[in-house]
Structure 1
Amino acid sequence: MRFFTSIVFAAIATANATVLRREITNLVEASLPQFSNITARLEAISTKRQGWLYGPSLLGNASFFPAGTIGSARMQADMALFSLDSAWVAPRAQADLLAVQQAVANNGGLHSLDDYAHVLYDGQWTASVPGGTGKGILANYTQDLLFSMERLSLNCYPLRRLQPSETLPFTVDLNTTVELTTLSLPALLESGRLFIVDHSYQLPYPKGAGKYGASSTAYFFIHPISGDFLPLAIKTNVGADLIYTPLDSANDWLLAKIMFNENDIFHAQMFHLVASHDVAEIVHQAAMRTMSDEHPVMILLERLMFQAYAVRPAGNAVLFSDGGYLDRAFFINHLGAAQFVPDFYTTVGRFQANYLSTDLASRGLLNSTTGPELKHFPFYDDAKVIHDGIFNFMTTFINAYYPSEDLLTIDPELSAWFTEASTSAAVLDFPCAPKDGQPTACDRSTLIEILTHMAYLTGVQHHALNTGDPVYSSGTLPFHPTALYSPLPTTKNISDTTLLAMLPPPSDAIFQIYLLAIFNRPQFEAQYKTLVHAFSEPSFLARFKGREEVERAAVVFRGRMEEVSGEVRGRGFDEAGLWKGMPFVYRSLDPGTVPFFLAV
């Protein structure tokens, strides 16, 4: 555990003046190329192109990683900034870990499921996770509604609605489906009420020694009477290939959900890397090689990509190395993680296809033409209000610099960025890709969507799955282990003893929480690094002198995000013990807590 801390302080020791925030060290006023010294700008861009190269991908084969003198210097500077943040949380997490170790020792170990939920958490992790765990996430984890609604809040990305024309991957006994849903499985499918999360792709991935798990496929459904979103069945796809349902014994069904969550947390952590880091980085890199540092869009992208190039090298050294933190904590090892990246990049790495509403609609979660709408969708509700705020800011920002479409069309740097992104940078599905070797004109609305999506990737999607979310919700024990530690049963009706033996032993349980805690960044609120402050930092706004509308838009955005944060922090349960139809409170997207950038 001290290995992480030693790397942190070693990086700090080698940091140099490049640690200073780029926004502070370069306050040249923003300008378009049409209204500035084009020769000087072209020379500066040429220098950047020579010094910022596309290097090999890190952490699996996905997008390029910066190389060259300028690209490498940026990585080193970002690593130094990342190390400062890590140095704040790492010793606090270490102190918390020691306190939890003592609590477990005083308890004589972990002897029950309640011990996992209470001894490991009650009054613990107060230094590194001062916000504590999500309301209800530990108290109500045995409830099916909590399990199913996690799919619509904590990780909705692998969930999709099955279409009536699809062939079902497995069947469930008719009497079981009727008792649980009032309908047969084919009737659920035909009526558009059946959903699936399929983690069977994890089956061939290399696994860690002494760790066990499934490669689950799960059905969920919208109940015809209550309208609730509920679980129907979980198939393990390994060993005896058992199919579990809520009608099984309490221990069997709880184990099935735990096995699913083991698969799901691996998916969430790897998905966030591919869909957020890999995509945002390569779009920014294309801009670095084609736009002047004085271009307003470049300045905005630099703000969004603050500290971005630290995460993949840090992960390469600490998390995904042979015997690193991933190998120690997760069922699937670093070799399996490396396979996940290219397996998913071709789809989740597509830029336009993964716009918020576009992606959700493509999976039948939004505006579905088949079946009823979801009664509650907590992730989308929170993501949309932030997305709308970002969109409004970007609209004002772009219109301030491009009051007419013609002005954007004749911007040579923007045109070069669009071409570079789809060609040399190999960004998947980027707008305005050249056709027949000729540039394609972009309009203001397209540029606004591009920038909105970039800010969504860095400030919303990333933190829905990473940063503080796992330690206070999606990675809490005993319901969300990163690995199991006994072979899976080949028959049903397991005992309490068998179930308990499958959970992480005390040292591994504590390490899981510690690992997730060092990804938390509670200090960012006091440092004005949260989403609330994404566009209002004085040194950032100073670059847009004379564009009062940009400053006003930043004030509006900040005020709206403060309102959203206040609402999130005031959430509680209704008289039925629910919040938005689920027995836990979702707070992963609190703009006053989450960073505006790819922090970890």
Structure 2
Amino acid sequence: MTSFLGHPLLLLTLLFHYAVAWPVAPSQTVLEPATVLPSDDDYQFALPMFDTRPWERVYEIRLAREGYLYGTPLLGNTSFFPTGVLGDAMVARDRAAWFQDVAYVTNKVYPELDKAGKALMEAGGIQSLSSYSVIYEDQWASTLPDGVSPGVLTNWTQNLLFSMERLSINPYVVRRLHPREDPLPFAVDNRVVRHLANGRTLETLHRDGHLFFANHSYQAPYPKTPGRWTAACTAYFFIHPHSGEFLPLAIKTNMGSDLTYTPMDDTNDWLFAKMAFNMNDLFHSQLYHLANTHDVAEPVHQAALRTMSARHPVRGYLDRLMYQAYAVRPIGVEFLFNDGGFYDSSFALPNWSGMRYATEAYWEHAGHFRATNFYRDLADRGLVDCTYGPNLTSFPFYDTVAPMVAAIEEFTRVFVESYYPEERLLGEDHELQAWIVEATEEAEVIDFFPAPLLKREDLVSILSHIGFLSGIAHHALNGATVGESMGVLPLHPSSFNQPLPTTKGSIDSLLPWLHNETEALKQASLLVRFNRPLLDEQEGNLPQMFSGSSFLAQTGSAVHHAATRFREKLLAISDEIRGRKFDEHGLSQGMPFIWRSIDPRKIPYYLCV
């Protein structure tokens, strides 16, 4: 091995290993060319100061820095996308894996679309708001086997369902208004507020920390697709002083005649307002998830590719989580956000509006590494541990996700302590320190941990956050939840068919604004494509995050035991979610629908689309 640096065959083997073998796909042996991988002894994780062949690592990193380059961002002006000889090969490999993964859904969606279309035709088409349910009931058995979330098709007119969606399927847009720091964004007639809030005024709700705000007004200046319309809603929600329920108070459209709606308005007016808000929210969730997960995790990993040997445990941890990650943005450019593509075919705002929002959200907050930590983000928005208002009586997102995050942190702590039994070792690890510097200065990760990184708990925080982003945050907004609840008609249309009403009390029927049969089927068939129904049998779901055989083969017994405990905990959480039912009040987690989309068995452990 002393001639490694000048041996052309070994150089080609290393290049092939980088381009093809990394990372291992869940249960897909086509990505494991054992004939070119190093031996088990060669491929054990080790810190650089304890590696018996340090010269190999030096040359490996030199090749990596030449082969993995920071390229032009994709899907908005956000984080870098990899290029270079090795970067391009990695992207090509991930694209091939993605197409293999998505083939099942792609092959099943068209016959199921035909089935849904025939059922809708036999029912006489869309004749009323209840007609939309025909599109979903028993129509997507292969692509969306769990169907629409129970309650969404039956309780969709309830105000509590609308408001609790903000605390479950999209908790990233709402925040509590601070009594001293936040002025009231818009006015509401206090006669209405008193009626809805047990005698309280808007100002009193604000003063007592009961008032929450959601803001989609940024969508107002974005260009609109010709022949489609949308709003740019802002909304108030509040904790009811008597019942403690989290309820809607008012919705302001910020477009057209800029009307403000409340639950006291005519039924059709208020339903229209909720549909308008959900339209904005659907746009937000899909682009925010891009800026907050893909665009954040990728540059952290790219920095590791250029500074760490594949034998470094931190690199191995990141490689495991970043399976298939670099397929998403180019696939999005080619098929989803291309001119006339899937996105343009349904949404009111054209694809480049989405890219504009992804860019704005990334730089404003979504792309900030430490500020979007699971606990910190919720606390900063007054949703947990609030010191200026009462606790939420039910917060399904937090209550469901917090145990998952704790399990990721527990495994990660064992993993880190196994390789850094003494804290001083972090300072001696030059590859680790080079990664921290690279991530900030070259990869330009916003709000990353400063160098030098000398505390094990900081490293645990970094790695756990990547685990949260790739395995939980992404799939809370994307994946199964889009087809099961977030995009279900008629409450969640992707666009309106005519301009917003100019006055209140003028809507005799909502159907002229909503999707016709063709557009409704198009929206439904698009959103079920985000699901991955074969994850459980492929061992690609969240409980398998740290169970890959190639990953564990490079670790010690403590990590093996931690991976087993992690899997058992996530399976127990999954069992609890799968067992959820309506209580005697017709509620689940305080909601009139059952939220199972975040079930660990049905969400990937890796970034997906």
What TM-score do you get using the length of structure 1 for normalisation?
0.94
Q: Which amino acid aligns with 1:137?
A: V
Q: 1:345 aligns with which of 348, 354, 362?
A: 362
Q: What does residue 8 of structure 1 align with?
A: none
Distance 2:489 2:149 in 1: 12
After TM superposition, list the pairs within 5 Å mapping 1:512-551 onto structure 2: 512-544=523-555, 547-551=556-560
Structure 1 unaligned blocks of 5 or more? 1-15, 434-439
Q: What does residue 4 of structure 2 align with?
A: none
- Does 2:395 match 1:377? yes
Q: What does residue 11 of structure 2 align with?
A: none
The DSSP-based 3-state class of the residue aligned with 2:553 is helix
Q: Is the 8 A contact 2:279 2:494 kept in 1?
A: yes
The DSSP-based 3-state class of the residue aligned with 1:230 is strand
* TM-fit CA distance, 1:496: 4.2
* TM-fit CA distance, 1:494: 3.5
Distance 1:19 1:107 in 2: 51
The DSSP-based 3-state class of the residue aligned with 2:534 is helix
Q: What does residue 207 of structure 2 align with?
A: 190
* TM-fit CA distance, 1:20: 6.0
Q: What does residue 212 of structure 1 align with?
A: 229
* TM-fit CA distance, 1:357: 0.6
- Does 2:55 match 1:55? no
- Does 2:353 match 1:336? yes
Q: Is the 8 A contact 1:19 1:78 kept in 2?
A: no
1:80-131 residue CA offsets vs partner (Å, 9 max, x unmatched): 00001111111101111011111122122111110012x1111211121111
Q: Is the 8 A contact 2:252 2:258 kept in 1?
A: yes
Q: Is the 8 A contact 1:303 1:540 kept in 2?
A: yes
1:358-396 residue CA offsets vs partner (Å, 9 max, x unmatched): 001111111111110111100011110100000000000
Distance 2:383 2:89 in 1: 42
The DSSP-based 3-state class of the residue aligned with 2:151 is coil
Distance 2:360 2:425 in 1: 40
Distance 1:519 1:470 in 2: 7
Q: 1:115 aligns with which of 121, 128, 131?
A: 131
Distance 1:366 1:123 in 2: 38
* TM-fit CA distance, 1:599: 1.4
Q: What does residue 29 of structure 2 align with?
A: none
Q: Go from structure 1 to structure 2 and tell me whether the alpha carbon gap of 1:19 and 1:519 turns closer, same or farther (over 3 Å shift).
A: farther
Deviates more, 1:266-275 or 1:529-538: 529-538
Distance 2:123 2:171 in 1: 37
Q: What does residue 377 of structure 2 align with?
A: 359
Q: What does residue 59 of structure 2 align with?
A: 43
Distance 2:374 2:72 in 1: 29
Q: What does residue 591 of structure 2 align with?
A: 582
Distance 1:501 1:189 in 2: 37
Distance 2:189 2:86 in 1: 61
1:417-453 residue CA offsets vs partner (Å, 9 max, x unmatched): 00000101100010124xxxxxx24210000000000
Distance 1:271 1:453 in 2: 17
Distance 1:279 1:47 in 2: 25
* TM-fit CA distance, 1:522: 0.3
Distance 2:602 2:506 in 1: 41
The DSSP-based 3-state class of the residue aligned with 1:325 is coil
Distance 1:58 1:106 in 2: 43
Q: Which amino acid aligns with 2:589?
A: K
Identity %: 47
Distance 2:250 2:357 in 1: 25
Distance 1:287 1:138 in 2: 46
- Does 2:314 match 1:297? yes
Q: What does residue 48 of structure 2 align with?
A: 33
* TM-fit CA distance, 1:531: 0.3
Q: What does residue 9 of structure 2 align with?
A: none
Q: 2:466 aligns with which of 417, 432, 454?
A: 454
The DSSP-based 3-state class of the residue aligned with 1:352 is coil
Q: 2:87 aligns with which of 54, 62, 71?
A: 71
* TM-fit CA distance, 1:22: 3.1
* TM-fit CA distance, 1:495: 3.7
Q: Is the 8 A contact 1:19 1:80 kept in 2?
A: no
- Does 2:452 match 1:411? no
1:261-320 residue CA offsets vs partner (Å, 9 max, x unmatched): 000000000000000000000100011100000101101100000000000000000111
Distance 2:435 2:273 in 1: 48
* TM-fit CA distance, 1:35: 1.0
* TM-fit CA distance, 1:49: 0.5
After TM superposition, list the pairs within 5 Å mapping 1:148-547 onto structure 2: 148-165=163-180, 166-181=182-197, 182-346=199-363, 347-433=365-451, 440-497=452-509, 499-544=510-555, 547=556
Q: What does residue 6 of structure 2 align with?
A: none
Q: Kindly report structure 1 stretches of 4+ aligned residues shifted beyond 2 Å.
A: 16-27, 494-497
Q: Is the 8 A contact 2:424 2:454 kept in 1?
A: no
Distance 1:142 1:578 in 2: 15
Distance 1:502 1:20 in 2: 51
Q: Which amino acid aligns with 2:311?
A: E
The DSSP-based 3-state class of the residue aligned with 1:231 is strand
The DSSP-based 3-state class of the residue aligned with 1:452 is helix
Distance 2:204 2:507 in 1: 35
Distance 2:399 2:192 in 1: 33
Distance 1:17 1:224 in 2: 59
Q: Is the 8 A contact 2:436 2:453 kept in 1?
A: no
- Does 2:114 match 1:98? yes
Distance 2:434 2:54 in 1: 14
Distance 1:317 1:163 in 2: 43
Q: Which amino acid aligns with 2:527?
A: L
* TM-fit CA distance, 1:344: 0.8
Q: Is the 8 A contact 1:205 1:335 kept in 2?
A: no
Q: Is the 8 A contact 1:432 1:442 kept in 2?
A: no
The DSSP-based 3-state class of the residue aligned with 2:194 is helix
Q: Is the 8 A contact 2:18 2:86 kept in 1?
A: no
Distance 1:18 1:510 in 2: 40
What TM-score do you get using the length of structure 2 for normalisation?
0.93
Q: Is the 8 A contact 2:19 2:86 kept in 1?
A: no
Q: Which amino acid aligns with 2:110?
A: Q
Q: What does residue 4 of structure 1 align with?
A: none
The DSSP-based 3-state class of the residue aligned with 1:253 is helix
Q: Which amino acid aligns with 1:482?
A: S
Deviates more, 1:259-268 or 1:201-210: 201-210
Q: What does residue 8 of structure 2 align with?
A: none
Distance 2:206 2:531 in 1: 40
The DSSP-based 3-state class of the residue aligned with 1:540 is helix
Distance 2:607 2:341 in 1: 22
The DSSP-based 3-state class of the residue aligned with 2:394 is coil
Query: In the comparison of the two structures, how many residue pairs are matched?
Result: 575
Distance 2:403 2:23 in 1: 29
* TM-fit CA distance, 1:17: 12
Q: What does residue 9 of structure 1 align with?
A: none
Distance 2:558 2:132 in 1: 52
The DSSP-based 3-state class of the residue aligned with 2:526 is helix
* TM-fit CA distance, 1:543: 1.4
Q: Which amino acid aligns with 1:481?
A: P
* TM-fit CA distance, 1:588: 2.2
* TM-fit CA distance, 1:19: 6.5
1:321-372 residue CA offsets vs partner (Å, 9 max, x unmatched): 1111111111111110111022111111000111001001111111111110
